[in-house]
Chain A
Amino acid sequence: MVELVDFIARALVDDPDQVDVKRVEGDDIITIELRVSPDDMGKVIGKQGRIAKAIRSIVKAASLKEKKKVTVEII
C-alpha cells in the first residue's frame, strides 16, 4: 500500500524527491502517512480535497483484502 501511495503522489507532484510515505500500524487500523514538499500540498489535496479523496478511493479499493482498515493521512 505504501508503494501505491508513493507512486500516485510522485506522479502528481513537481518535486518527487520530497515525497515520503510511511506505514503506521495500529491495533485495527493501518495509517499511510504521506508527506510532500509544502509547495506540492495542493497537488495531492486538490480543490475541496478532490485529489485526496481520489487517492483514498483507490487505496480503499486496493485494500479490500486487508484485514485492517487502511486510511491515508496527508501530513
Chain B
Amino acid sequence: MKSVITTGKTLEDAILTAAIQLAVQRDKLEIEVLEEPVKGILGIFGGKDAKIKASVMQSTGDLVKEFLTELFEKMKLEAKIDITETEDAVAVNVSGPRMGILIGHRGETLDAVQYLTSLAVNKNTDKYKRITIDTENYRCKREETLTKLAKRLAHKVYKTKRKIVLEPMNPFERRVIHSALQKDPHVVTHSEGNEPYRKVVITLK
C-alpha cells in the first residue's frame, strides 16, 4: 500500500498535502494521526504542526488488477485487464492475443486463475467479494453450449427412457444444467458424487 507522512499547521493542511503528494482524491485516503497540532501563543509561538500518515485505500478491484497484472507478467502472457466492481463482486474481463492459453482445456486454467485470485484478494478483507474472470466471452458461450447440451440430453432421456450421467463439472456448470432443465416436463436432474467429481444425472420424471 502506498503511503506518505506529512505535516501541516492543521490536520486538514496535512491531509491536503498528502492527497497532493499521492495524487489521489482525499476520500481515498486512510489517515492515521501521528501528532495532534498544538496551537501556540497568539498562534505564533510554541505551536506544533500536525503530523499524519496517509495511505491510499485500495478497493478489491485495485487488488485484483495488481494481482493479475503480476501473474500474467510471470506467465509471460500479454493481456489487458478491465475491472468492473460492484457492492459484492468484481468482474474481470481479460483481452489479448493468446487467450486460448488462459482459458485452457474446458476453461480449466481460467477457473484456476479465478479461484486463486479470489483467495489472494479476499485473504485480508472482512468483506468477501465474488471474483469472476472472463475472456473472449468464454463463460457466456460455455453457458450457451451447456444449455443446448442439456436440452439435447433431456430429449434423449425422454426417448430412450434411460437416465444419463454427465461428465464431472464444477458448481457453476452444474447449475447451468439444472436451471436449463428445471421447467422440463419430462425429466428431473440431480447431482451425484463428491467434488471435484460431482456429476449431474438426468432421469425420467
Contacts and interface: CB of A to CB of B under 8 A. Distances in A.
A1 to B, nearest CB: 9
B89 interface: no
Interface of B: 67, 70-71, 74-77, 101-102, 104, 108-109, 111-113, 115-116, 119-120, 123, 195-196
Interface stretch (A26-34, A54-62, A67-75): A54-62
Interface residues of A, number: 18
Given A48-B196, A57-B108, A62 B120 contact: no
Nearest to A13: B123
Query: Do most interface residues of chain B lie in helix, strand or loop, or is the interface mixed?
Result: helix
Nearest to A4: B74
A12 B123 contact: yes
30 contacts: A4-B74, A7-B71, A8-B71, A8-B116, A11-B116, A11-B120, A11-B123, A12-B119, A48-B195, A50-B196, A51-B116, A51-B119, A53-B196, A54-B111, A54-B112, A54-B116, A55-B116, A57-B104, A57-B108, A57-B109, A57-B112, A58-B71, A58-B112, A58-B113, A60-B104, A61-B102, A61-B109, A62-B75, A62-B77, A64-B101
Contacts of B76: 62
Query: Do most interface residues of chain A lie in helix, strand or loop, or is the interface mixed?
Result: helix
A12 B71 CA distance: 13
A17 interface: no
